[in-house]
Each structure stands twice: as C-alpha cells, then as structure tokens.
Structure 1
Amino acid sequence: MTGMSCASCAGRVEQRLNKLDGVSATVNFATRVATVDAADAVGVTELCEVVARAGYHAAPRTEVTTSEDDPDARHARDLLRRLAVAAVLFIPLADLSVMFAAVPSTRFAGWEWVLTGLAAPIVTWAAWPFHRAAARNARHGVAAMETLISIGVTAATVWSLYTVFFDSAERQTSGVWQALVGSDSIYLEVAAGVTVLVLAGRYFEARAKSKAGGALRALAALGAKEVSVLLADGGEMLIPASELKEGQRFVVRPGQSIAADGLVVEGAAAVDVSAMTGESSPVQAAPGESVVGGTVVLDGRLIIEAAAVGPDTRFAGMVRLVEEAQASKADAQRLADRIAAVFVPAVLVIAIVTAAAWLLMGGDVDRAISAALAVLVIACPCALGLATPTAMMVASGRGAQLGIFLKGHRALEAIRKVDTVVFDKTGTLTTGKPTVTSVVAADGWDAYEVLARAAAAESGSEHALSAAIVSASRGPQALAVRDFRAIAGSGVVAAVNGVPVTVGRPSWVARGRVVAANLVAARRTGQSRGETVIFVAVGDAVCAAITVADAVKDSAADAVAALHRQGLKTMLLTGDNEATAAAIASTVGIEEVVAEVQPEGKVEVVERLREAGRVVAVVGDGINDAPALARADLGLAIGRGTDVAAGAADIVLVRESLDAVPQALGLARATLRTIRTNMIWAFGYNVAAIP
C-alpha cells in the first residue's frame, strides 16, 4: 500500500475498509500492509478500489518487499535530497530576510528577486510532498497535517511576495522602528523554515518506518531460493524453492539451507537449528527424522521428502508471527498524528474567524490577512512533528556512546511500566559459541596431549563441536593426520601420527572398550549440567572425556542483579533443554525458567505474561527470538545477533556486554520523559500563541 503519509492516513483507510459488509481490517502504517479478514463475496479487486477511493494505492501482497524495492527507503532518500537542498538555501535566505526587514538601507536593486530565488525551490520542490498530499486530501474531503503545512507554507509565501513586491516602498521610508514593527510581513524565511523543519521530522520518521519492515525482509532472505529436486531416474533438477510441491524429494548438501519442512528418507547429517529453535548444539538428522525448513545442513548429504511447503512451513509461519506482532504495535502512533483530524480543521476555522473578526472590527484587509496568516504559521505543526524525532536523535547520540541504539518511539510508552525482563539463552546470556569447559583424562594420560590428538582428528570435520575442540587445543600442532572418516551422528576416526584416534559420542566410542570410573563420573556430571560430553579413544583405550558448553557471558550475572535491584523480575526463555536452561539460570541468578519452547511457544509465553498483567521486555538475538521481540511491550536485541532479531526489536544493544540492558532501560525511560516534555511544550506553544 502506497501514498500513506501519517497514522491518520492508515486510520482513514482502515475505517473505509471496515465499512464493507463482512470485512474486518487492520492497517499497519509502519509496514504499509493491510491485513483483511473478508467474506468470500468480497474480492481483492473490490478492496483495492475502496483504498483507491480513499486516495491511496493498494495491490495484493505476494511476497515480502526486498531492500531494493522498499518504498519507505526510497521515500526516505527522496526526503533527504529535498531536506539537503532546502537547508542549504534556507541559511542565506533567513539571514538576508532579517537584515532587509530590520535595516531597510541594506536593500539593493533586485533584493526582492534574490529572496524569491532562494525561497522558490524550498517552498515548491522541497515542499512538494506536502502540497501533493494536501491536494489529494482535498479531493477526498479530508484534512491532515499535510493540509495545514501546505496551507501555511503557501499562504506565507504568497503574502510575503505581495508585501515584498508591492508594499516595500512604504516600509523603506517609514524609519527603522516602523521597519522592525512591520518586519513580520516578510514571511519567506518562515515558509522556508517550516518546510525545512517538517522535512527533517518526516525524514527521520520515514527512515524509522523503513527499519520496521527490515525484520521481514531479513527473515525472508534466509529461506532457500532454489532447491535440487530428485528425479525418477536418480538425476537432479534445480528449481525455484517456491515451485517445490508436497511429496517431492529434494537433495540438501553441506552448507545449504533446507527448503521445506519434511522427512529424511536417506542420508545422515548434523543440522544447525539454532536460528529456528534456540538449540545451541546441532541436531543429528537420520532417515525417519523430521527436519525444519530454514535450518542448515553442516555435514553429510540428505534426501528429504517435502511435507509442508510455501506458506505452510514453520519458516513461513515465523514471517507471519513477526508481521502480526509488528501490526499489534501500530496503534501506538505519534500524538500529533492521532489528533490531526481535530487539530487541523480547528486551526483553519480559527484562522478564518480571526480574519473575519478583524474586518468586522474595522481593520483593513492587510491587517486581517496578516493576523489570519499568523495563526496558520504559528500552528504549522513543526513543533509537534519534531518533538519526538529530535528527542530520538539526542537519545540515539547518547545511546551510541553506550552501545545502545533506540530504533523508534512506539514502544517507549511502556518503558516505565516494564516489570518483567525475559532473556533468551543462546547468544544472549551465553556467548553463542560452544567452547571446551573441561578435559578429564584417565590415569596415565596427559589431558592436554589427549586434547591435541582429538583436535588433530577433528580438524577434518566442519561440525561446531569439532571447531570448539580444535580451538581449545594447546598441544603439539605438527601432528600427521591420515585416513580421516566422519561417521554421521557418531563422531570421527583418524590416524594421528600413525595411531588410531576415535572422538565422538560416549556410547559410540565406549563400545567394546573399558571406561575408567573418573570418565564415567565426568560424563554424568557434564550431562547433569546440560553440557555435551565427548569421549576420546587412542588405540583401544578410552583416555579422556571432553565437555563442551556454551559459556555464560561474564556480564550476565551482574546485569541480572542490576535488574533485580531495580525491582524487576527476570525469566529465562529458551528452546534448549531443561537441564542446560536450569544450569544457566542458576549461574546468572534467574529463578523462573521456561525451556524447550519453539518460536511460537515463546510468543505464547510472552502473551501469557501480558495477560497476567505484566509489562514484558524481551532480550534476544536469534531468528527464533524475533516474534517474541516484536510481540513484547519492549524488544531488546543483541546487535551481533541476527538481522531479523534486530529488525523486530525496539532497542538494539550494539556491544556484547549485558550491562547494556539495565542502561538501555534507563536511557529509554529518560527519552520517554523528554518526548512527553517536548509534547507538552509543543501543545502549550500552540495553545498560548494562537490566541
């Protein structure tokens, strides 16, 4: 949907759509999407015609907008160009206008044309978006903020041109004091200044709207674009993923995304599901196992039979969850837009009444028009339009110094009421990267030497756990590795310096071998903490147990403690297993834990908390966190996480330290106070100045 310039536009379209029988519609101004629940008798064409009669353009939505054709990004770039030109011309225009009005002796031949030449591009080309919107609104019998802006700019320009070209001689001979008294008659700099200020506000607003759709665009970009379908003769054919049908079998190789939800019919591989489920460790996929679209195969080759494709996949469901969650916030719009339907007509009426009153009281036409024009210029909503963007600019600058990025103002209304902070685990409370936490060696073996041999054997594997072991090794690096074999779902085997080394699952490595008691105890302890335990055998002897875990961030416990001191409750919400979640929660001081939940389950938990009366802030970093971030009263995304999470959140924490969470909440509260103060001054200015 295009053509909407403010929240009142979205409200007008929504109102027109809901007047149709059997139609229930919501219009999201931030994403320019109308979600319509309509009876079968109501067609898409009829809905688009209703939108067109309201003065806007709509078309059926077939896919998520890409960054290349994002209308909000294009609009922001257009506004920036107009703003740059207007700002450059406004500076000399303002200086010359004040000088010529206050000191008539400085005027030279053709000074009127100099002012007109500087002002014309600003009040015409730069202000064109407001004039165009005002004309469209007039055709449909409505008034919005653009109406007031356009009328104010146009009236100030026309009256100023009249006074400059036809009424300047009298001021030139009336003395300096009379020139100062009458200097308000030169309104060109006022018309240009209003244009510059409102353009600045609209530019920042357009840029924020473009960010609002970024979550959906980033999420859509993660899906497989093409898929290799298995033919009856055993060959393969590459087709667009959108053409994949249920029941078709397709091939996925290492490093590729799975194109659809389905069932593995052949092959085995480790699958990285962290982005979709929050599970930090890869999941082994084997024949008969279900797999989810959007996850990535790390090793091995899988043949999968598609069970759910297109809009029926869990991946597509996540796109819908983020979109619906964003739409649920669309009602919290800027106060100036919410009251535009009353404010604009009221100002126009006041201006007309002012002119009429001056004429009835015996004033001349010039004085009546000047008074009416003063009402329009004073009421032109530059203060209302900039009250929020200016506060956001200042907060963004301060936030950048603290590693905090405040994206928008819509969710800030709930900041001071937040009472519960919900943390994701993987990548949020933890580093998101598996690391070796301990190496326990059997009697007679050196732990570091065994780790070095295990790392040498694992060096040929792409598995995340293999990378952790290789990274942790501090033993000899010049070890000869031959005959490497990866056993999918079990581990690896290789000859290291001519000696067979087996690394993998304890049950697989221990088969037919004797395991020392201390290694059995290490396995039991590690698994009780939710860590991954790997056995290493050199020759026929099981000689070590390596535990791998996602390490807790050093700042996590302090951040949680700081939130508790502020009187906030905390919760751990993760897709990981119960044992791991409980261990992490205990380490950082979180008492309430909900584990083994899918992305839609996270949204349900957030909704339950809100229904129970809590005001919820969610901190996360993964794709699986995006719906919960968008649904929460406040979303905080770890900046080094996925673009999807950052796009769905209201606040992005650029640095890894979780100390930024309590700092972000404090900055957001301060920003909200500033916005409210600005709004009070903006309305107070109008209330005091118009009379």
Structure 2
Amino acid sequence: MASSATESISLPVIGMTCASCQHHVESALQSTAGVVSAHVDLMANRASIVFDPSEASPQRLIESIRSSGYDAVLPHPGGSVAEKSESSYGKAEAKAAATLIAGGIAMLLAMPLGSEMGPVDHFLMGLMPWLYQLQPDYIRWGLMTVTWLLMVWAGRDIYIAAARGLQHGSTNMNTLVSLGTGVAFLYSAYATIFPAPDRQVYFDAVLLIIGFLLLGKALEARAKRRALAAVHALSRLRPATARRIAGGVETVVSLEDVRIGDKILVLPGERIPVDASIVEGQTSVDESMLTGEATPLARGIGDRVLAGSLNYDGAITCKAESLGEDTVLAQITRMVEQAQSSRAPTERLADRASSIFVPVVLVLACATFAVWMTVTHSVSMALASTVSVLVIACPCAMGLAVPAALTVAVGRAAQLGLLYKGGEALERLSNLNAIVLDKTGTLTIGRPVLQAVRPVKGYSEDDLLRMAAAAEERSNHPLAHAVVDAARARSIKWEPASEVVVIPGRGVAARVEDYNCLLGNEALFQESAIRFPDSIPPVRPGVTRLWMALDYQSIGCFDARDSLRPDASSAVAALRNSGLRVLMLTGDSAAASAPIANQAGIGEVEAGLDPAGKLARIRSLQQQRLRVAMVGDGINDAAALAQADAGISMGSGSDLAQEAGDVVLLRAQPAAIIAAIDLAKATVGVMRQNLMWAAAYNVIGIPLAAGALYPVFHVLINPWIAAAAMALSSVSVLANSLRLRSWQPHSLPDAPAS
C-alpha cells in the first residue's frame, strides 16, 4: 500500500490503440523508480499513478511513458483528461472518408490490371469502356503516387506509433497494420517499377486498410465519448460563477473566489455552486444527477443543498460549507472516474492474451506466407493472405471488451445514485449467495423518535434530556439525534460535555456537569456492572431503549421507535426471489428488532451484536462457502462491510466521504440494493458477451484470412475485407457495451433515463 508520503496523478496518454499498448505503458510506469502503483485506462486514454514524490516527479513519469513509445502531457487544470486524450482522433473521420473514397476509386482503376478477365470486368467494360483503354503503366504509377501521399497524410500517426514501438522493443496493433500495408505497398511499387504479367498491385488494399482502420478509430472515439458521457456530465454540473453577498451587496465572482462561510444567493433555475446550508428562503431542488432521485426535494432554512443540484422555484441564500474538490459533486465525480479506470478480474484474462497476441500473429503471418509460397509458388497469393492475417488479427476488441462495459455501467450507475468502487466490486456483487442487512438506517428510516423519557425517582425528564443531549450532541448515531431533537423541542439548554468517548456498538461515555455520564444499550450496562432500576417497566416490542447512568448509577432510560422504510418489505421479497439468503444483523435488542424483521419479511435475525459480533457472523457465513454481501451505514458496520465479499453502504450526499463499502447507495432505499445487484449482473453478462465475441472473431477470422476456405471453396479473404472486419470487431464490442446506457432498474421509481 501507498504510504502517507505518496501522491496521485492522472496523466493523459496519447497514441494507445489496443490492449498491447496499454500493457506496454503500464509496464514502463511500474518499472519507474518511485512508482507505487500504475493503472492505464484504455477507454479514457489515461494513466492513474501513485508515486513517491521524493523519487519520481510528474515529468519523470511522462518521460517513462514516452520511453515506451507513446506520449503523455500534464493534465490541464479543470479540463477533462478523457476529452483531451481523445482529441488525437479529432481528424480521423475526415482522413477516413478521404482514404476510403480514394481506395474505392483505386479498386475501380485496378480492375483492368488483372491478368484474367472475369464477369465483373465484362460488366465494367460495357459500362465504362474508357476504363479499359487507359494505359496500365499510367494507372500503376498514378495509384502508387496517390497511395504514397495518403499513407503519409492519413496513415502518418500509425507508422510513427509502430516505429516508436519497435524502437523500444514493443509491438502493437500499429505494428501489424504498418507491416501489412508496408509490405503490400513495397511489393506493389516493385510491380509498378518492374511490371510483369503475374505481378499484381495492392494499392487499393493499402488505402482501404488505412481507411477502415481510421474509420474504426473515429467510431471508437465517438463510442468512447458516449461511454464516458456520465462522468463528463457530472463535471459540467458545477457553474463557473456564484452570486456572493457581502455587506448587503451582491457580486458575481468566480467559483475559485468563494470561501467557506460566504453567503451565496441562488436564483430559480440556477445550479447551486457549492455545498451549503440554507439561511434564507425555501425552494425545491433537483438532485437527480447526484442521487438518481428524480422527484424535486423541498429545502428550507437549515437544510443542506449540494453543488450541482438545480434550484427550481425559490430564491435562496446559502452559507458555503464545502468548496471545490471537497464538495459531494467532486467526490462523486472522483469516485466514478476511479471506478471507470479500475480493472475487473475478468480483464486479467484479456490482458494475458493481449500481451502475447501480436508476437503470435507475426509468427502466424510468416507461417502463412511460407505455406502459400510452398504450395502455390505465387508471391501475389502468399502476400495477399499474409497481409490479411496481419490486418484482421487486431487485439483491440479483446482489449476493449471488459473496460468498455465497465465504463458504461459505472456511468449509468452514477446516474441512478449507485456508486461502484471498481470493477472487482461490481463482479463480486454479481455473484452472491447471501445478503446481510443492518436494521437501523438500512431497513428502517434511521430517524427514531423518542416515545418516552423514563427517569428514576429524584430526576426529571428534563434532567435526563439536558445531560444526555450534552453527551450526544456531536454523535452521528440515530438515537443521539432523537435525544438531541427532543431536548431542542423542549427548548432545553445544556453545557457542552467533555472527554466524550464513543464505544462502538455499545454507546457513549462523557464528562457532563462533573458527572461520569454513560449512555448505551443493555450490554454496555451489564459489562459495566450497573444495576437496572426496578421502577422502570420492561421495554415494549419494536422499541429501542437507551439507558443512562451517572457515576455508574442508573438514572433512567429513553425509549425510541424507528419506522420501516416504505419499500423495505418489497425489496426483501425481491432479494429472496432472486435466490439470495436474507439475514438481519443488528446491535439493537431482540424486542426492538423482531417487529421490524417481521414487517420486512426476514426470518433470520440476530440481535444484540456489536461490530465484532457482526464481523464474526459474516465470517461464519463465508466459512459455509457462501458469497456474502453486507448492507450497512458504512460507519458502525465498517468492519463487517470490509469483511463481506461485497460491502454496500447506505449513504447520503452529506456523509459520502465516510463510506466504507464497495458500493455506495446515494438513494437511501432498500430498492437500490436490488438495482445495484441487477446492474452488476447485467454488466458482467455484457463483459462475457464481449470477450466471447472478441475471442470468436480472432479464432475464426485468422484461419479464414490465412486461406482456410481456399482448398474447398477457392475463396480468399481480400486484405481490405480483413480491414473492414477488424474495424467492425472493435465497434461491435463498444456498441454492445453502450446498451448499458439505457439499462433501467425495475426496483427504483423515477429512475432518470440516460
């Protein structure tokens, strides 16, 4: 793991075209002194690097990338790495169109150059007799000149990338294309300078190969932009300016000039520039791009609003609380980018195949040429088959198969309020046997309300509330909120507590009004040997009891009741119907948890568990060979979330940074659990389809290109057809992955469309 002294950087990488390129860049970075870890994202053309600044610098990292035959630049502040790295393909469409048109004309002009007249020749001779009256030498020399010019103009980057790779001892897709088109051009030039009846020219094939390759790149770039659209949309949500109020004067300032505590005016129809709390006015806001919740949410004085959310119908004045990279919007964007750049376990298989793919193809191409020369003694036939093998064997589809699906899925998930931490988390989530649910905040709303305050003789209800609120006011526990809210509702004032210590899964200890104050559950009082007063009646079913003691003498308790979330029972039923074993683990008492479990439809319940008890139960399920997901609040359940095969945090925008699971659900709804699992399954399905297509393409395409059909059917794959098939393979994988952009969950209402 990286030490605290390490830094992270994301560098745009220019010139990558396939998984082999990705592997070379990654290897170069990982072998650089001071680099702790490096991951290269082929989809976004980006390298994410963790390094020790005392041993390496960003410029040194760029030099390492360049030493592997590729280029890199420092990211521009505020710019999108993915958008910049795709700019190298900006002119690919124009070049592809020009080269393909020239290739089609070259194919037509080359028809009279054939050694034999076929049915197509007779047809063209009747249609365009002038074509067959042209001097063959003029045609050859004209085609050679045009082909050379277009190779230099349109194919320049391909040949430069191949040369750089060879210079550094690496091979990639550019190597195959450059070798194939180069050999075809040189042989055709030889046949032009020294013509003979049995020497054919392949200028049309050279142009069409380059044209289809460029067309494939242009289509890939367009598909990649669509795949990355979700994170680009997130980055565009934050406005560039804000209306700052100072001394009663409104001034429009740059977002970089806003400081914490500044008052910001947001008018109807504007996006909120920073995370803030409302101090004046009320409105409704649209947070759908952040949480997936399409229904407008009412917000008033004291409520928190998030940067990037849309203010609908009221002018509000807010106090800035989080700025820049600390806003929830920035955190979500960062998590999505990291997840899209992560590597799924399935991708390792593709990586291993791609790392040896190009050398194997070169061997197969040499073998193809040797066999054809031995059998037919025809250089033309041997050359055509060899070029077809070199061109059709493109590893792009294999390299894009997994990251393309992962990138689209992570982006779509973010639109739905589901944040996957990476490909590994997504794959684990798709393959579960059991799911463990926490009670408070997961199945229940997580805002219990005090039902009763029960003091012992000598103390009043206000006494208990005053001292308990002092101890609990800085706690995030739902019961703490219930106590503090009740004290505030009675306008009770208190002095701040000191020496506050949270006891995980048990309660809190503090120094209050010169007393040692203890608030917690029954287990904490038993461990502390504190006797329960006889005057307090037993707890009622469905009620959670919080005991209170001063100087280890019980002075009473608080009874609170939480409510089941509206969609909890239907979500549990859906989880069971999908074949999952559903359990509830809670630190609450059996009396409080049993009614909730019954309402939710959960039969397996274990109550009174502290964090260590939940952790042990997860481990025992795993020892039964079950693949377990844990769903909790990400704070008290951190250990269990980390131990589970897949940890799911029921989060919210305000506490996103505290998440501890593999998946964060920004919608605090049990239905979101099903959506996260279903999307993971759909994504893994697309990954497997992509890998099967990529593997089948090469397994079938290479033998066909080598001439497997010729002995029986006398059919050869023309090099330009091989080039078209090569482009089609990558585009097909991307198109299949893009289907996930329109994926819709059945469990979430108001799911925003992509």
Q: Same fold (TM over 0.5)?
A: yes
1:64–1:216 Cα contact (<8 Å) kept = no
Q: Which residue of 1 aligns with 2:71?
A: 57
Q: Distance in 2 between matches of 1:203 and 1:570?
A: 47
* Deviation string, structure 1 residues 2-48 (Cα, Å, up to 9, x no partner): 23232322322222222233312222222222222221313222222
TM-aligned CA distance change 1:294 to 1:27, over 3 Å: same
> How far is 1:333 from its partner?
6.2
Q: Which amino acid aligns with 2:29?
A: L
The answer to whether structure 1 residue 146 and structure 2 residue 179 are counterparts is: no
TM-aligned CA distance change 1:101 to 1:419, over 3 Å: same
Q: Distance in 2 between matches of 1:601 and 1:9?
A: 44
1:153–1:191 Cα contact (<8 Å) kept = yes
Other structure's SS at 1:133 match = helix
Q: Distance in 2 between matches of 1:136 and 1:151?
A: 14
2:275–2:305 Cα contact (<8 Å) kept = yes
Q: Which residue of 2 aligns with 1:445?
A: none
Other structure's SS at 2:72 match = coil
Q: Which residue of 2 aligns with 1:679?
A: 698
Other structure's SS at 1:236 match = strand
| TM-score calculated relative to the size of structure 1 | 0.55
Q: Which residue of 2 aligns with 1:167?
A: 195
Aligned length: 498
Matching residue within 173, 179, 183 for 1:155: 183
Other structure's SS at 2:71 match = coil
2:234–2:333 Cα contact (<8 Å) kept = yes
* Deviation string, structure 1 residues 458-509 (Cα, Å, up to 9, x no partner): xxxxxxxxxxxxxxxxxxxxxxxxxxxxxxxxxxxxxxxxxxxxxxxxxxxx
Q: Distance in 2 between matches of 1:352 and 1:375?
A: 10
Other structure's SS at 2:114 match = helix
Matching residue within 286, 290, 300 for 1:285: 300
1:257–1:293 Cα contact (<8 Å) kept = yes
Structure 2 matches for 1:256-335, cutoff 5 A?
256-264=270-278, 266-272=279-285, 274-275=287-288, 276-278=290-292, 280=295, 282-287=297-302, 289-298=303-312, 299-306=314-321, 308-329=322-343
> How far is 1:273 from its partner?
5.6
Structure 2 matches for 1:502-581, cutoff 5 A?
none
> How far is 1:64 from its partner?
5.2
Q: Which amino acid aligns with 1:86?
A: T
Q: Distance in 2 between matches of 1:273 and 1:32?
A: 32
Listed as ranges, the gaps of 5+ residues in structure 2 are 1-11, 122-131, 406-421, 435-561, 584-595, 602-627, 665-674, 711-754
Q: Which residue of 2 aligns with 1:36?
A: 49
1:375–1:690 Cα contact (<8 Å) kept = no
> How far is 1:411 from its partner?
8.4
Q: Distance in 2 between matches of 1:101 and 1:603?
A: 74
Q: Which residue of 1 aligns with 2:19?
A: 7
TM-aligned CA distance change 1:569 to 1:381, over 3 Å: farther
Q: Which residue of 1 aligns with 2:164?
A: 136
Q: Distance in 2 between matches of 1:338 and 1:199?
A: 26
Matching residue within 27, 35, 60 for 1:23: 35
> How far is 1:314 from its partner?
1.7
Q: Which residue of 1 aligns with 2:539?
A: none
TM-aligned CA distance change 1:192 to 1:336, over 3 Å: farther
Q: Distance in 2 between matches of 1:260 and 1:215?
A: 20
1:72–1:206 Cα contact (<8 Å) kept = no
Q: Which amino acid aligns with 1:220?
A: S
Matching residue within 132, 139, 146 for 1:114: 139
2:173–2:396 Cα contact (<8 Å) kept = no
Structure 2 matches for 1:592-671, cutoff 5 A?
611=646
Other structure's SS at 2:70 match = coil
Structure 2 matches for 1:387-536, cutoff 5 A?
418-419=430-431
1:76–1:207 Cα contact (<8 Å) kept = no
Q: Distance in 1 between matches of 2:355 and 2:681?
A: 38
> How far is 1:323 from its partner?
0.5
Q: Distance in 1 between matches of 2:222 and 2:231?
A: 16
2:345–2:427 Cα contact (<8 Å) kept = no
2:307–2:327 Cα contact (<8 Å) kept = yes
| TM-score calculated relative to the size of structure 2 | 0.51
1:198–1:385 Cα contact (<8 Å) kept = no
Q: Which residue of 1 aligns with 2:469?
A: none
* Deviation string, structure 1 residues 432-482 (Cα, Å, up to 9, x no partner): xxxxxxxxxxxxxxxxxxxxxxxxxxxxxxxxxxxxxxxxxxxxxxxxxxx
2:372–2:378 Cα contact (<8 Å) kept = yes
* Deviation string, structure 1 residues 615-646 (Cα, Å, up to 9, x no partner): x9xxxxx9x99xx9xx88xx9xxxxxxxxxxx
> How far is 1:51 from its partner?
2.4
* Deviation string, structure 1 residues 543-576 (Cα, Å, up to 9, x no partner): xxxxxxx9xxxxx99xx98x998868999xxxxx
> How far is 1:318 from its partner?
0.7
2:22–2:42 Cα contact (<8 Å) kept = yes
1:356–1:368 Cα contact (<8 Å) kept = no
Q: Distance in 2 between matches of 1:605 and 1:294?
A: 33
1:28–1:34 Cα contact (<8 Å) kept = yes
1:64–1:220 Cα contact (<8 Å) kept = no
**CA-atom RMSD, angstroms?**
6.1
> How far is 1:683 from its partner?
4.5
1:260–1:310 Cα contact (<8 Å) kept = yes
1:197–1:382 Cα contact (<8 Å) kept = no
Q: Distance in 2 between matches of 1:52 and 1:251?
A: 48
Other structure's SS at 1:381 match = helix
The answer to whether structure 1 residue 222 and structure 2 residue 247 are counterparts is: no
2:275–2:323 Cα contact (<8 Å) kept = yes
Q: Distance in 2 between matches of 1:152 and 1:610?
A: 47
> How far is 1:89 from its partner?
2.8
TM-aligned CA distance change 1:256 to 1:121, over 3 Å: same
Q: Distance in 1 between matches of 2:59 and 2:292?
A: 41
The answer to whether structure 1 residue 79 and structure 2 residue 122 are counterparts is: no
Task: Percent identity, please.
Answer: 24
